[in-house]
Structures are given as C-alpha cells and as structure tokens.
Amino acid sequence: MRETYLKRIADKLLDERLKTSGAVLIEGPKWCGKTRTATEKSKSQLYMQDPDKALGYLKAADTKPSLLLQGETPRLLDEWQTAPVLWDAVRFMVDQRGLSGQFILTGSAVPLDNAVQHTGTGRISRLTMRTMSLFESGESNGTVSLSELFDGKEEIEAISELTIEQIAFAIVRGGWPASVTDTPQNAMRHAIDYVEAIINADISRVDNIEKNPVRVRALLRSLSRNISTLATTKTIRDDIAMGDGDGLISEKTIGQYINALNRIFVTDNIPAWNPLLRSKTAIRTSSKRQFADPSIAAAVMRLSPEKLMDDFNYFGFLFESLCDRDLRVYADAMDGELFHYRDSSGLEADAVIALNDGRWAAIEIKLGTKEVEEAAKHLLALKQRVNTQKMREPAFLMIITGEGLAYQRKDGVFIVPVGCLKN
C-alpha cells in the first residue's frame, strides 16, 4: 500500500502551469519528491528507469519516440533525460495537438547542451521543485504568511513551537520526503546515502566523465565548510589544499566538478541582488554558496544534531541554509526569486525576496537573539540606500530567528521565528 501523499507547495504551481502550457518540466534534486508529485497529477505514466522496461523504452526512443508519448493526458515521462530525444518529441507533439496539459516531464539532471535540438520555449514550462520546507513537513505552524506581509499586513502575533534542538534535527535530517516520514532513528541516514550516491555515481553519470571520488569528497567538504558564504573558486581550492591535503586539484577542475554538481541540482547558490542605489556604492556580485538542502552539508561533515549544537557558529551557517531553502520554496509560490545583498561597505542582507511585480523585501537570518539589533540596523540602512524614487519601498523588513515570538518592532522590522513562516 502506497504511503499517504504529503501535499506540496509545488502542487498548486503545477496545476497552474498545466492549464497554460502544453507540457511542464519539473526539475530538482533526486529524492525531493518530483516523481510522486507528478504521479499524483498525471493520468498515465512512463518510468524510464523501470528496470524491467528501461531497455525497451530506450530502443523505442531511438526508433519511434512518439510511441512513448501515447497515453491518457497529462502523461508523465519520468527521468526523461535518459532519452533526450523525448524532449523534441514532446515539443513536436505539443505543437501538433495544440492543447495544454499534455505532458509532465521530471528530471534530476540537466542533459548536455547538444542533447536536444530546441529549447521548448512557449511549449514546455519549467518548474523547479525543492526539498520540503518546514511548513510542508508540518514543523512550521504557518502563522506568519509572507504573501500577507507583501500585501501590507502589519500586525502579527505568533509563537513558534520549534525548539533549537528540533531545528538542529531538521537541519541534519533534511527536507527529503522519505526522511520526513521516516522514524527519527532512520531519518538522518537518507542524506548520508544521498551524499555517497553523488560521490560514487551521480556526479560522473551526468556527463559520462569519470570523476575522482576522493576529490569529489574533498570538494563537498570544502563547500560544506563554506556554506552560506561568498567563497570564490580560489578560496575553495585553497581550502581543499589546507583541509584535505590535495593541493593538485586546479581551479579549472573544481569549476568542472561544481558545474556537474549544478547539473544534478546538488548545489543551489543564491545570486546577488542588484538594486538601484542612491550612491555609487559597488555591489558584490558573487553568489552565496548553498546546497539544495542543508542536510547535505551536515551529512558530508558527519554531524549529528548533538554535534551541530556543540558548534554554535557553524550551526548558524546551516540555519541560514535551512532558511534560504524555505524562502526559495515560498518565493516560488509567490512568483518571486531569492537573492542576497552585499556591497563594498560591508552592508548586507542575508536574503532578498524580489517579486516579478517589482515588490521586494529584505531579510536577515539570525539563529540567536544577540545579533538582532545589529541585523535591524543593517536592514534599515539598506532601505535608506536603495533609490526608492526609481524602485519601490520595501514591502517589509524581517529578521528570521530560531525560537520565540513573532512580532513587529517599533522601527517596523518584523521578528519572525522560522517555525512560524509560510508562503
């Protein structure tokens, strides 16, 4: 008997895309729930990695791919990238039928650039699916809605039931659906297995170029040590040389390996926000380094919740990673994107949600309460620095914390525990 389906924020997004596009591509890391979500919404399915049928499917794709597209719609083509010709076949079939909601494609790897002939623009809509946010896993009570704050809500009063200990567990366990529904004893094993699969198979399979597992592990350790930072490729190389003793790995090789990690959605870096400023202050353009889920870093570093709590400084970086993941899920639901901000003066905001209609909000992320005052100063300074004659005023300013109450300060800044947030 199949386990109960946990509703996802992506469900509504998929419904909307199926109404307006001939096909929808759901991309994201392996094990994040793409196939299950797509199966719930589809009326017929083609699982390309079914061991009993995979060989036959590949032969059909080589000879007459249209055969694989026959079935009640929406038809699911799971892990379509194993037969890239399916992309062009879907595009052609969508053109022929002229109907919306024909196909759902899922993939945990991006094919090589020359694997498909056409982009699919105007026919295939893309939807990124991520691991489960705390609201989706039921650990956030959802009493503070980001959408409502964007719409002008000013009064909030809420309390988070999440403890610091529970946050540490949520980080180490991750937002993998299988982990969320498993026993606490088994839940943390999924992220470890995921990391080992990356190192020993997945990273090489994406482009069929064998990668050195020792170097992949060293790279993942360095990316884990530098999570939630603006570390450059050179910084990563130097860190590997010092931390793992492999000084022979070049920046070029690191770049190739990171590109492979990007293609299988292991990394999910946060781009820099580039607003119009009142002054000529230079804006840092480096992306903030993040994994698709904070549990990847915890698994690489072999951290238990107890070990994580022993290193409160590193805990803070992984907490920021957790919040970034959740904010990305929520921003997707609001037709927005997540950025970070840092300029040459050192002024920064850990997160900026920018909606497609021009509204924006700046957010600082602080696990403890001691840094709240300084964080509020940063947000208010950023508000003053943005040229609001050419851009909108921020919809709101917020500091996300670990525990406690949700409320609005006298200066207008919202204080919201992560266990109260939803889209």
- CATH code of the domain covering residue 95: 3.40.50.300
Range of the domain at 394: 144-422
Domain shared by 148 and 58, yes or no:
no
Which H or E element spans position 154?
none
Q: Over the stretch 115-145, which tens digit does the pLDDT of each residue have?
A: 555 555 668 999 999 999 999 999 999 999 9
Q: Is residue 167 located within the same domain as residue 124?
A: no
Residues 316 and 413 in one domain: yes
Does 354 map to a domain?
yes
Asked if residue 327 and residue 240 are part of one domain, the reply reads: yes
157 and 264 together in one domain = yes
Specify whether 83 is located in the same domain as 122: yes
178-198 pLDDT, tens digit per residue, is 999 999 889 999 999 999 999
4 assigned to some structural domain:
no
Residue 382 lies in a domain: yes
Q: Which residues, 6+ apart, have CB-to-CB distance to 54 below 8 Å?
A: 48, 82
Domains: count for the chain: 2
| Amino acid letter, 263 | R
| Co-location of 60 and 152 in the same domain | no
Distances (CA, A) of 310 to 228, 295, 313: 19, 17, 9
Same structural domain, 153 and 219: yes
Q: Is residue 28 helix, strand or coil?
A: coil
Same domain, 300 and 362: yes
* Three-class DSSP category at 318: helix
Distant-in-sequence, close-in-space partners of 108: CB < 8 Å, separation ≥ 6: 27, 28, 29, 30, 34, 79, 264, 265
Identify whether residues 111 and 163 lie together within a single domain: no
Residue 199 inside a domain? The answer is: yes
Name the helix (H) or strand (E) containing 159. strand 158-159
228 and 289 assigned to the same domain: yes
Would residue 405 count as lying in a domain? yes
pLDDT-flagged residues of the chain (< 70):
1-3, 112-122, 243-248
Whether 137 maps to a domain, the answer reads: no
Q: Is 134 contained in some domain? A: no
Which pTM was predicted? 0.95
Which pLDDT does position 1 carry in this prediction?
Answer: 46
Assess if residue 2 is contained within a domain.
no
Q: How far apart are CA 129 and CA 67, in angstroms?
A: 28
Last residue of a domain, one of 75, 98, 128: 128
Q: Choose one of 128, 160, 181: the last residue of a domain.
A: 128
**Computed from CA positions of residues 180, 182, 184, 187, in that sequence, does the dihedral angle turn out positive or negative?**
negative
Q: Which of 74, 104, 128 is the last residue of a domain?
A: 128
336 & 308 share domain: yes
